Amino acid sequence: MSAYIGIEVVYALPSRQVVRSLSLTQGATALSAVVESRLSEEFPEIVPEAAQLACFGKLIGRDAVLRDGDRVEILRPLLADPKEARRRKAETQAAGKKLR
């Protein structure tokens, strides 16, 4: 008889967050949790074998073994480099101050 763990798999969009609670056998990996969540059926942009994953905000590998209570987060790719976005915002603010 194998023991089970309770985990959550999360996928968030700007307008919506989906949380799936699962019961998996002990020793399950992050990849198996994503596949078992079946979120890729609802969101075709999710490719479990290529997805970047995190657990409570810390990056993990798809082969990471999960523990009871873990929360696997499926990360979306960045639309813009955060450093570049900050630089452009600073330039825009500086240009606005010069016009005053």
Measuring CA to CA, how many Å separate 83 from each of 49, 87, 89, 94?
28, 6, 10, 17
Q: Which residues lie closer than 8 Å to 65 by C-beta, 6 or more apart?
A: 27, 28, 29
Dump pLDDT digits (tens) for 72-97. 999 987 666 667 777 888 878 777 76
CATH class of 4-99: alpha beta
Dump pLDDT digits (tens) for 10-67. 999 989 999 999 999 999 999 999 999 999 999 999 999 999 999 999 999 999 999 9
Gap between the Cα atoms of 20 and 7, Å rounded:
8
Gap between the Cα atoms of 27 and 65, Å rounded:
6
Taking the domains of the chain in order of start, what are their residue ranges?
4-99
